[in-house]
Each structure stands twice: as structure tokens, then as C-alpha cells.
Chains A and B, each alone.
Chain A
Amino acid sequence: MQGYIYPNEFELQWGLLIVLYPYITGLVAGAFILASLERVFNVKEVQPTYRLALLTALAFLLVAPLPLLGHLGHPERSYEIFLTPNRQSAMAMFGFVYAWYLTVVLLLEVWFEYRKDLVLRAQAAHGVRKWFFYSLTLGATDLSDRSLRFDDTAGRVITVIGIPSAFLLHGYVGFIFGSVKANPWWSSVLMPVVFLFSAIVSGIALVLILYLVTSLFRSRPVDMPCVDKLASFLFYAMIIDVSLEMLDFLHRLYESEESIGILSQMISSRLFLSLIVLQLVIGTLVPLVLLGTSSPALRRGGTARGSDELRRVIYLVAAVLVEIGIFSIRWNVVVGGQLFSKSLRGLTVYKVEVLGSEGIAITFALLALPLVILWGLVKVLPPWSEAQARPSH
């Protein structure tokens, strides 16, 4: 502690679990927007990752409410958010935004996308497996051209609805912080927008990592035009993200409101490692240089530089660094917003516990859980192109 903080501010209210929540929903929104590139914007190169991106979004969305539930003082009362939401509260909208996104967008899109595969697998299987796959088709086993075309159209329509929904899902999370007028570190109209673009960055990076790693373990060749495209998109998304953050930073600096003194103090002391080193240098500048020099993003004619092998390594390293950087962004927003006193006269500290309900161990478990779910989803709904049954369109 340094300077003066209100006595009630000694305890930090939102810890590691609340850092995790916007991180995970960001991955969901980002992965979905990546999937929509192929579906709606017809970016053919990224087609091999379309299904993987969808399943990734679903797996992470299933885990997204867990850190929130774990953080509540009375998780057993959480259903009150659905029963008697306070219509004035931004947070009260969580349940509805979440339910909409899970059921109307992701589950529906996955179902339409996989219906033909499920029917074929049900026909080929026997016994319990047959019934399992049959139940997943919900009894819709019509594989006529007309019905498959309907699947495709429906998937496209849902994706179109899904893009604003993904924006809503993560923009909403940014709004939760950006609308707190009591907190000068959070209170910014740019917050939802910055959240959104950092979400897109983290989602693309995650799918890139998953695609490279799964290809390695499956001993399948990596589709280089696809990862080159992903790397280029990652680069562009990062440029927008960084620009927005710089705009926010410059705006604060130039306006120089009464909070500027304590916030500057916080950045140069408490947040130096997580903001300057991890977020800015390791998580942004280094990956930008790596991607800018190797991916086709900046190159005339769209050709990449370096051997395929080298590029794969560079992309993987860059994407992992990006994930570290985005996690640092979430940390700097959530924890940073509580490290200074609202009296603007002092700084406090946050001590992370290793074990315990909000500790590092739980955090890693919650980060690993979506990967386990994804593994299960992949078993039932293989996303690989060689298993894909969707008609080319």
C-alpha cells in the first residue's frame, strides 16, 4: 500500500476468476468471428479451420459462466438473475445474452453444419452409437439436395445473425467495465470496442494454435495457404486493436483528468510488468514484428517469406505470445482498475493465491477444461477437412 486508500478498499473484490471471464468470452467471440469469415465473407483459404473454430467457440462458451459462478458469494442464488433481473443493470443481461448466444447461435449453427455428417454416421454405426448419433440428428435424417441446401442457407443466416451476437457478447463484457463511472480506469466509451477487437485477436490466435498443434499430433500436413491467411488476419486485427488502445491511451493523456496522476503512478509501478512488458512488448510488438516479416500480410502478391517449416514455428510462437498479451490486457483492466484508490490518493496491491477458490490452480483448471470439452466435441463432431461432408458451394 502506498498513499491513502479508503479502508474498505484494502480488499480487492474482483480477482483472477474475473480476469478469466472476459478472457474466455473473448476467445469465444473471436473464434466465432473467424468462423464467419469463411461462411459469410467467403474467405476460402480459412475453410480448413471453419469447423474447428465453431467447436472451439462452443467449448469455451460452455466454460465461460464457471469463473463467474465460482466468484459469486452465493452461487446458489445465481438463478435470480434470470427470474428477477434488474432491468437497469448491465450485468443482469448476462443470462440473456449468454443463453441467446449458446442456443440460438452456436448450437444451431453447429447442428446445421453437422447434420449431414450425423445422419451418415448414424447410418453407418450400430447399437448404442447408432442411437447416439441418431438422437443428435433430432430425427431430421432427410439428405435430399433440397434439405442439404436448406442446411447451408440456414447456417449462413445464423452466421449473419451470429456476427452481431458475438459483438454483443463481448461488447457487453466491455460495457460492464466501461460503464462504471466511479472508476476512471474503466470508464471509457472505447472499452467495449477495445474488448471486441482484442477478442478477435485472441480468437484467431487460439484457432491458429489449435490448428497447428492438432495437425502436428495427427501427423497431417498443414494447409499453408490457410495458416498464412490466418497469420495475415491476425496481423491486421492486431493493428486495429493496437490503434484503438493507443487512441484510448492518448485520449486519457491529453485530457489529463484528475485521475491522471494516480493512473500514471500505477502504470509505472504496479502494472509495469503486466502492461508495459507483457501486454505491450511481449504480447504486441514482438508478435507484430514476427507476423509482419514472415506472413504474407505486408508482402506484395501475397507470398510469404521463409520455408513452410519456419513459418509454422514463427506463427505458433507469435500466436502464443499474443494469447499471453491478451490475458495481460484482461488482467490490466480487471485488476488494474482496483489497484488505485477511488480517493485517487494511493495504490494498493493484489496478492494472487496459488490454491484456494480464486487461485492460480483453479485458473489453470478452468483454462484446461474447454480444451477437454473440445477434445470430446472433436470425437463426436470431427472438424477435419478429410471427414467433412458439406457440399462445396
Chain B
Amino acid sequence: MRDEDRAPAAPAPLNRRQFVETALKACGAAAPLLVAVIRIPSAGGQETAGSDEAGYDAASHYYGMGIDIDKCIGCGRCVAACKAENDVPADTYHFNTWVERYVIDSQGEVTVDSPNGGMDGFPPVTSERGIRRSFFVPKICNHCANPPCVQVCPVGATFATRDGVVLIDEQYCIGCRYCIQACPYGARWFHPTKHVAGKCTLCYHRIVRGLVPACVEVCPTGARIFGEVEHPATPLARFMRMNDVQTLKPHLNTRPKVYYANLDGEVR
């Protein structure tokens, strides 16, 4: 069962609280000892703390993203904005989002690169055999409707919110890294100092305030479209109506919610 009923971004799941409370009642005299050992979520307050903005109703949203390959120019502004906005380590191997460049030469040979995740743009293409076609592919967590990372997490530290975002509770993650192994898209990474898994949050702190994710905000060509998957009169719904959209690795039945327009078959 996916924990969809959980309040968005609440650091403690309800069932755990109930469990601990019941355990404490049962323990009776041993309770003070247990209190010292077990971290007990403070009662009340936390229900809404840091998650529900005033007036925000998670149940009335279901988020996804559209990406138009033809519009991406590989400038890497999205990557830089994401790193700054979400405090992603500044090195070259931790990314919530990155941009890949595909170069298919005249013989059909495919070369892919993503220097520094595409953050600083790309060096000029050199191909002795001539280029058949070339394009950029922004990558991001697919916020799958059937997320394998959530399935494998032994403690339920990573979860899908009601509004369709896959998040990680940093206070709860034990750092086993099974979720990183289970993600088919390489979208997760391990935080070098926090020792917990990290990933794209769709800028959850922004979207609950009615803003768009940082990568969408800064894209100069509008290649990324953020919005509602299920509401017909929204930019994302229009994007999905006007384009043939595809998802990545659909055969794995992860049901991604990042939809690509003009996606080449070579992209994995």
C-alpha cells in the first residue's frame, strides 16, 4: 500500500506515531526508559508544520512535468538553479536534474555526454563522420505513480505525497541506499554530509506556495512545463494535448509523470 494518506512532507507518518503511543501505553512503568531511546514525534502542531501552506489542499493537486526536447538549448540554467535552490552539493556527481546531449553521427553511432550535468553548457560538437542529428534531454526524477524507490525503502522514509510528489524524510532515512539502486533513472544520490538519500522534490517548498519549480522558472525557452496532470485547463494538460508525449523506460511499469515531447528512441 502506498502511503498516500500521509500529510505532505510531514516528517513522521501517522501509523508510526500510533505505534509508538500504543507501545508506550503498554509499557507503563518502562515508559521513561523508552522515551529516552525512541524519538517521539511531538503531539499536535507537527501535523501541519512546514507542509500545508495556509489554504493549500494537497488532495486537489496531482503534479507532473512536461519537457519539450525541441525547445531545450542545453544552457544548463535549470541545473544551476536547482543546485542553488535545493542546496544540492556543488560537485559534479550529485544532481536533482541534469541535461544530457545526444549526438547521432551519420553512421547512426550515438554519443551521449553531460559534462558537470550540463550546468556550464556544452563544448562544441566534433564528429568526423558528420552529424545526423543532435539534441538535449533534460533529466529529472520522474515522480513515478508506481515508484520502485518507495516500494523498497525498508522504513518508509521515502514516500509519495497525495499531490503526486516523491519525497524523502531526511530525519527518518537510515541511509541504506536501496532506493538509489531501485531507481531505473539514476535520479537519486547519496548526500555526502547528511548521509541520507537525496532527490528532486519538484521544489515542494515552492509549489505549495503556488510557485513553479526553480528549473521551470529559469528555463529561457520554456522547455519545461510544470503543472497538473489531471486538470484539463492547465499548461501541462495543454502540452500533453498538443504533443505526442512519451515517458522514459515505460516497460518497467513505473508510470513516470515526466512527459517528453519529441523524444528520440535512443534516449534511455
Residues of A within 8 A of B (CB): 3-11, 13-14, 68, 71-75, 77-81, 83-92, 94, 176, 180-183, 337-338, 341-345
Contacts and interface: CB of A to CB of B under 8 A. Distances in A.
Nearest to A9: B186
Contacts of A180: 148, 152, 181-182
B172 interface: yes
B63 interface: no
Contacts of B93: 7-8, 10-11
A13 B19 contact: no
Contacts of A5: 186
A258 to B, nearest CB: 8
Contacts of B98: 6-7
B153 A86 contact: yes
B21 interface: no
B16 A84 contact: yes
A8 B189 contact: yes
B155 A92 contact: yes
A91 B148 contact: no
Interface stretch (B68-76, B111-119, B216-224, B231-239): B111-119
B174 interface: yes
A92 B157 CA distance: 12
Given A14-B181, A78-B174, A84-B16, A7 B155 contact: no
Interface residues on B, range: 35 or more
B215 interface: no
B185, B194, B252, B268: most-surrounded residue (chain A CB, <10 A): B268
Contacts of A341: 186
A199 to B, nearest CB: 21
Q: Which of A88, A91, A182 has the most CB of B within 10 A?
A: A182
Contact of A7 (B95, B175, B184): B95
B13 interface: yes
A119 B202 CA distance: 65
A55 to B, nearest CB: 30
Contacts of A343: 112, 186, 268
Contacts of A74: 173-175, 195-196
Given A8-B94, A84-B15, A73 B184 contact: no
Contacts of B13: 84
B249 to A, nearest CB: 8
B154 A83 contact: no
A4 B196 contact: no
A32 B47 CA distance: 49
Given A4-B112, A72-B174, A81-B154, 4 more contacts: A6-B114, A77-B175, A89-B178, A345-B268
Contacts of A81: 154-155, 174
Interface of B: 1, 13, 15-16, 19-20, 38, 92-95, 98, 100, 110-114, 117, 139, 148, 150-157, 172-178, 180-190, 194-196, 252, 268
19 contacts: A4-B100, A4-B112, A6-B114, A7-B93, A8-B186, A8-B187, A13-B177, A74-B195, A75-B174, A77-B173, A80-B157, A84-B19, A84-B155, A86-B155, A90-B152, A180-B181, A181-B252, A342-B186, A343-B112
B134 to A, nearest CB: 14
Q: Which 5 A-B pairs rank lowest in CB-CB distance, beginning with the nearest?
A: A73-B175, A6-B186, A73-B195, A182-B184, A10-B93
B174 A342 contact: no
Contacts of B1: 87-88
Nearest to A182: B184
A347 to B, nearest CB: 14
A338 B178 CA distance: 12
B148 A182 contact: yes
Contacts of B20: 83
A80 B155 contact: yes
Best-surrounded residue of A5, A6, A10 (most CB of chain B within 10 A): A6
B184 A342 contact: yes
**Residue of A71, A78, A89 with highest tally of chain B CB at under 10 A:** A89
B172 A80 contact: yes
Contact of B112 (A8, A182, A345): A345
A90 to B, nearest CB: 7
A261 to B, nearest CB: 12
A182 B182 contact: yes
A87 B111 CA distance: 42
